[in-house]
Structure 1
Amino acid sequence: MVWQRRSILSLYNLSMTRHTAARGDTASSSNDIETPVPSISPAVDTAWEESRTVEASNATKTPSEVRWRDLPNKDQLFILALCRLSEPLSNVCLLPYIFYLVRSVLPTSEDDTSTDNPAARISEYSGVLVAAFPLAQCIISLPWGRLSDKHGRRYSIIGGLFISVISNIGFGLSRSFGALLFWRVLAGLANGNVSIMRTVTAEVVRERKYQTKAFLLLPLVFNSGMVLSLALGGCLAEPVVNLPALFGPDGIFNSSGNPDGVAWALEYPYALPALLNAFLLCTALFLAVLGLKETLHGKEEHSDCGLRIGTVIGRLVTRLWNRGPEYHKYAMMQDTEEATFLNASQPKSEKVEPSTTMTDPMKMPFRDIWTRKVFLSLVSFGLLPLHNSAFMHIFPVYLSSPPADNSEATIFAFSGGLGLRSATIGVWLAAFGIGGILLQLFIYPRLQKRIGTRGVFRIALFLFPVTYLAAPYLSLLARDHAARWVFLGFIVCAQIMARTMAIPSTVILLTEAAPSRTVLGTIHGAGNMLASLARAVGPAVGGYVFALGVEEGVIGLVWWLFLVGVSLCALVWSYVTENSKV
């Protein structure tokens, strides 16, 4: 009987191979971590053969067959994507103009008259300002993630959005460094819910074949938010200077006829980007209150006043939209029916029995969550923002710094920046950020399908140190030389390309490392806490080393000593993680 079973299984595999060849499909795995295939033994039973049949039929479907419009729960993913804009809008918007913002609020005694290198002092203060946001995230992320595992995701996300709106308004209207620092800390505390959004993504999209696209969505929105935020921050800061047709002496909004321009724009020159951020986040908050559903296991049926109002509005809009001679009424699928359908659509090998792994998160001891696999993934998750956040702070300050005479420069000893305005910096970073979005949409899924998540991650880790080695040599190019713009484009494009490939890879690998889906909130909370700590340490240390390099006449000190060093550590750690038995 054993040889009969083997013969039947061999004939089935042969028929599946011929069927796949006839269709022209290429069987490739989309899993991030390879799943061992059990060997055939004489004791193989009918249940195993049936599960292998389902797996074989699903193996013929490549990730390229899953389109964006095929994703389940698109309304929830859309609201979640808008909520994800909170962090880039609150955190990144100030980067194009941070040099000029800090210079405007520093006391006169600590500005240009107190030192021969004002850029060094501004770099130190701006490093503290940038680091305040992720440091607050670090403090709140793990408790917030643990709280969401107990009481739910919906109110955590809504509360964070509300506080983000308030903090953006306060930041834009601040006139002192202390006030700016306070509102940055509050915004960081509000955005500790980033890990919860990642958890909701995993809970909304349960089928493995959709998860590559789904986990790519939030980094894609993050990059889009960064592009939008950088462009808004660079172009809307100092509107009297950057937008004279609207806010200048003869501008459309200068109804009072002030000879210098719009009065409030002169008094609060950096308020407009923050106020616009608050308006955009208000829109996301409104939609979240009306439509974001609870996804915590056991509380999926939760409903409140906001959701009930949203349901009524949705039905009204649907009736108005579909009113006509060909109107057909569709019944909404209930959550329980949808869960049953999703569970039935999964291969039996991917179903999880509630009595085994899908346990109550409170029944899993806290210490049992932190496996070796989770630890290794968390370290990789934290090393990336350690150098990436430092770059995001240092590079705009470097581009804003005044150029220097490098006629006697050596290969390592030279100084000065490019002296670019905030609008130019914002447009450049935003333009290449669009390239990062296109990369995530069209290139990343194909690379991930061919070489896997770890392979894509490693390509990014090789790009980072090469980019950081080359960046400071922009100072040696002539001030008006065309080569400077080409070289600047290469630096920005390479860094954004590496970042675009690395961020979704780390999220996927961390999710795969979780011992149970019910503790994803805690796992991603710990990851966000570690990443936030790295985003706080990176700009603070980077700003200090940058200031030291400016004072010593070695502008590349922070690039070669700190950024290259950390990125090489991340590259080495990726090999340690792969070769370890987890």
Structure 2
Amino acid sequence: MKLPGNPSRATRTLFLIGCIVLAEPLSSTLLFPFVYFMVKDFGKYDEVGIGYRAGLITSAFFLAQMSTTSIWGHVSDRKGRRTALLIGLLGGIISMVLFGLSKSLIWAILSRAFCGILNGNIGVARTVVGEVVEQHGLKQSEGFSLFGFCAAVGYIVGPMIGGWLVMPAKAFNLRGPGDLFVHFPYLLPCLVSAAYNSVVFVGTFCFLEETNEKLLVKETKIMEEDSIDTEYTSLLGPDLPASPSVARVVEETNTSKEVLVLVAATSLISLHGIIFDEGFSLFTASSLETGTGLGFRPKDIATSLSLMGPVIFIAQLWGYPFLNSRLDTLKLWYISSAGFATVYPLVSLMPMIQQEGMRWVCLQLLLAVRFMSLVVGYTSLNILVNHVIAPGRRGLVNGAVQSAASFSRAGGPALGGVLWSRAVGSHWSAPFDFHIFFILLAVIAIFQGFAGLWIPKNAASKN
């Protein structure tokens, strides 16, 4: 990646931001393999009671994060991006240790909420990447691909840590000092996550430079009596209008209706995405004998999810560019919706496959299609937002889109937990037993596709 100006500074900043961004998917996916078993240990709940309680734990982080994201954005504007990022990392360190020490449902929920309250790092990181892209003349696609890359790494490493290091006293006779891991069987993977955050905290504190131009200008004023360099002045000045051809296109399509459609589309794909992530752990950990699950252990859940990391890599780096060279973004949006709607009901049929090896292969194939659909859907959505909205309003609309995603991720796990508990406890015959959980996800995915009908066709593009 060739950078004008100071390439070493840009590379260092993007590397550190990548490490910071990775911390969130690590801590979020880490608990998926064992949250079912953790809740079961808290109160010896049956499968009906475990679902919505596990959903509350997952929702606590996103709900708290949603309520404070704008606050941390304001802090980063006033006190600096670096300061806000350091606070988020410190909150992650403390909260992950507290979560690993959980002995009750309330403790687990509060520790996850504490992490969410102190963590607005994804939004701040996007701002930093945008500033680095502008200051060093990078392509936006190159800079922002960092987030998809880190999500893929998180989906590989997070479940591996959570599934393979949980209950170390039973798994590989690692009892810890004073039988620490016997008393707290879910602590070790949380300590690994906290240790990662600690290393990144030190690296950020020592090597990350501030990118907030307003603060840099203030420092320049204090250090120098001369007037501010015209380069800073131009960066802080009013935005130049878009070229007439571009401005004309976006003005024709830049209406409140299309903004609402984009917000709705984001809400729908985020909603069924987070509910499936939560429900997958509940489904796979439930009993195979009763036919409501697959009887997986934490290690099995970890392996199945971690295998999807390479799928995300391939889909993001090669799959989507290949598809987009042949199909426009709107068609790819419809394809992603169809992929979700097909996969979700088929996942619920996995307990019917008697042969264990065949059941495993079929599950991995369905998960691969699901995660490829996720990459195609989100990437298409980002491109459509960029094409539909005028440059001067993209920041505002992206904020609304991000809030919609946060809202869905906040309520989705709790909603999914309740739906799963009701479905498992209904004692109705198929498809109104646990299958209805996956059917409802397919319905949401279909509505996701319908949202594309209100997106202007001239917003679609090919590479």
TM-score, structure 1 length as denominator?
0.67
Residue correspondence of structure 1 range 89-168 to structure 2 within 5 A: 89-106=26-43, 108=44, 111=45, 118-149=46-77, 152-168=80-96
1:220 is aligned to 149
Counterpart in the other structure of 2:415: 541
How far does residue 301 in structure 1 lie from its aligned partner after superposition? Answer: 5.0
Bigger mean CA offset, 187-196 vs 220-229: 187-196
Q: Aligned partners of 2:388, 2:236: CA distance in 1, in Å?
A: 16
Contact 1:135 1:188 (8 Å CA) reproduced: yes
For the residue of structure 1 that corresponds to 2:214, the secondary structure is coil
Alignment of 1:249-264 (within 5 A): 263-264=179-180
- Relative to 1, partners in 2 of residues 1:494 and 1:173: Cα closer, same or farther, differing over 3 Å? same
* Amino acid across the alignment from 2:415: V
Which residue in the other structure is 1:567 paired with?
A: 445
The question of 1:381 aligning with 2:266 is answered: yes
Residue aligned with 2:120, SS: helix
d(CA) in 1 for partners of 2:204, 2:96: 18
**Conservation of the 8 A alpha-carbon contact between 2:387 and 2:459:** no
Question: In the superposition, relative to structure 1, how do residues 69 and 95 fare at CA in structure 2: closer, same or farther (>3 Å)?
Answer: farther
Conserved 8 A contact 2:87-2:119: no
Point out where structure 2 has 5 or more consecutive residues left out of the alignment: 221-227, 243-253, 428-432
Moved more, 217-226 or 523-532: 523-532
Higher helix share: 2
Cα displacement (A) at 1:450 = 4.5
Q: Structure 1 counterpart of 2:452, which letter? A: S
- Deviation at residue 506 of structure 1 after TM alignment: 3.2
Is the Cα contact below 8 Å between 2:239 and 2:392 reproduced in 1?
A: no
Distance change in 2, residues 1:456/1:212 (3 Å): farther
Q: Distance in 2 between matches of 1:79 and 1:517?
A: 29
Residues 444 and 519 of structure 1: CA distance in aligned 2, closer, same or farther (over 3 Å):
closer
Distance 2:213 2:263 in 1: 24
The one-letter amino acid of 1:137's match is Q
Q: CA deviation at 1:438?
A: 2.7
**Residues in 2 aligned to 1:277 and 1:546: alpha-carbon distance in whole angstroms:** 29
* Alpha-carbon spacing, 1:434–1:222, altered in 2? closer, same or farther (3 Å): same
Aligned with residue 201 of structure 1, among 119, 129, 132: 129
Q: Which residue of 2 aligns with 1:557?
A: 436
1:341-356 matches, within 5 Å, as 354=238, 356=240
Report the alpha carbon displacement of residue 455 of structure 1 after superposing the two structures with TM: 4.3
Question: 2: CA distance between counterparts of 1:130 and 1:566?
Answer: 20
How big is the shift at 1:294? 3.0
Q: Which amino acid aligns with 2:105?
A: F
Change (3 A) 1:90 1:338: farther
Provide the residue aligned with 1:445 in structure 2: 321
Tell me, yes or no, if the aligned pair for 1:224 and 1:433 is still in contact at 8 Å. Answer: yes
Indicate if the aligned counterparts of 1:464 and 1:567 stay in contact, CA closer than 8 A.
Answer: yes
In the alignment, residue 491 of structure 1 is paired with which amino acid? L
Q: Which residue of 2 aligns with 1:363?
A: none
Change (3 A) 1:199 1:355: closer
- 1:199 deviates by 2.4
In structure 2, give the amino acid aligned to 1:201.
V
> 1:128-185 CA distances to partner (integer Å, 9 max, x unpaired)?
1111111112211234335545554332222111111111111111211111110111
User: Hey, what's the Cα distance between the residues in 1 that align with 2:281 and 2:36?
Assistant: 8
**In the alignment, is the contact (CA less than 8 A) between 1:160 and 1:190 conserved in 2?**
yes
CA contact (8 A) 1:93 1:232 kept: yes
- The range that moved more, 421-430 or 378-387, is 378-387
C-alpha contact (below 8 Å) 1:142/1:528 kept by paired residues: no
Q: Residue 481 of structure 1 aligns with which residue?
A: 356
Change (3 A) 1:398 1:301: same
Contact kept, 8 Å, 2:97 with 2:190, in 1: the verdict is: yes
Task: Say which of 199, 203, 212 aligns to 1:287.
Answer: 203
Question: 1:330 corresponds to which residue?
Answer: none
Distance 1:523 1:154 in 2: 25
Equivalent residue number for residue 372 of structure 2: 497
**In structure 2, C-alpha distance between the alignment counterparts of 1:236 and 1:455, rounded to whole Å:** 42
Q: How far apart in 2 are the matches of 1:191 and 1:568?
A: 33
Match of 1:275 in 2: 191
Show the 5 A alignment for 1:38-437: 68=1, 73-106=10-43, 108=44, 111=45, 118-149=46-77, 152-206=80-134, 210-244=139-173, 247=174, 263-301=179-217, 354=238, 356=240, 372-405=257-290, 415-437=291-313
- How do residues 15-30 of structure 1 correspond to structure 2 at under 5 angstroms? none
**2:344 matched residue in structure 1:** 468
Structure 1 pair 166–243 and aligned structure 2 pair: CA distance change class (3 A): same
Work out the CA distance in 1 between the residues paired with 2:216 and 2:325.
33
Residues of 1 paired with 2:391 and 2:77: CA distance? 12
CA distance in 2, matches of 1:431, 1:336: 51
The one-letter amino acid of 1:546's match is W
CA distance in structure 2 between the aligned counterparts of 1:294 and 1:372, rounded to whole angstroms: 38
The one-character-per-residue Cα deviations of 1:185-209 (angstroms, maximum 9, x if unpaired) are 1111223331222222222113887
Q: Is the 1:138–1:531 Cα contact (8 Å) retained in structure 2?
A: no
Give the aligned length: 432
C-alpha distance in 2 between matches for 1:168 and 1:278: 6
> 1:372, 1:146 → 2: CA distance?
28
Q: In 2, distance between residues paired with 1:468 and 1:555?
A: 12
Deviation of 1:476 (Å) = 1.0
Q: AA paired with 1:183?
A: S
How far residue 370 of structure 1 moved from its aligned partner, in angstroms, is: 9.6
Change (3 A) 1:209 1:462: farther
Q: How much does 1:557 deviate?
A: 1.0
Q: C-alpha displacement at 1:431, in angstroms?
A: 1.4
Using the TM superposition, give the Cα deviation of residue 353 of structure 1 relative to its aligned residue in structure 2, in angstroms.
Answer: 7.5
1:496-551 alpha-carbon deviations (Å, 9 max, x no partner): 1112233344344445566556973x554433332121012222121111111111
The answer (yes or no) to whether the contact 1:238–1:269 under 8 Å persists in 2 is yes
For residues 154 and 148 of structure 2, the distance between their equivalents in structure 1, rounded to whole angstroms, comes to 9
CA separation in 1, counterparts of 2:324 and 2:120? 29
CA distance in 1, matches of 2:201, 2:305: 27
Structure 1's unaligned 5+ residue stretches are 1-67, 112-117, 257-261, 305-334, 344-350, 359-368, 406-414
Q: Map Cα deviations across residues 92-144 of structure 1 (whole Å, 9 max, x no partner).
A: 211111110101112x5xx3xxxxxx111111110111111111122112343
Return the alpha-carbon distance in structure 2 between the equivalents of residues 100 and 558 of structure 1: 21
SS of the equivalent of 1:85 reads: helix
What are the superposed Cα offsets for residues 337-359 of structure 1, whole Å, 9 maximum, x if unpaired?
Answer: 9989xx9xxxxxxx99736459x
Q: Is the 8 A contact 2:51 2:418 kept in 1?
A: yes
Percent of paired sites with the same residue: 26
Tell me if structure 2 keeps the 8 A contact 1:83–1:284: yes
Distance 1:338 1:228 in 2: 42
Q: Compared with structure 1, are the counterparts of its residues 170 and 556 closer, same or farther at alpha carbon in structure 2 (3 Å cutoff)?
A: same
Counterpart of 2:245 in structure 1 is: none
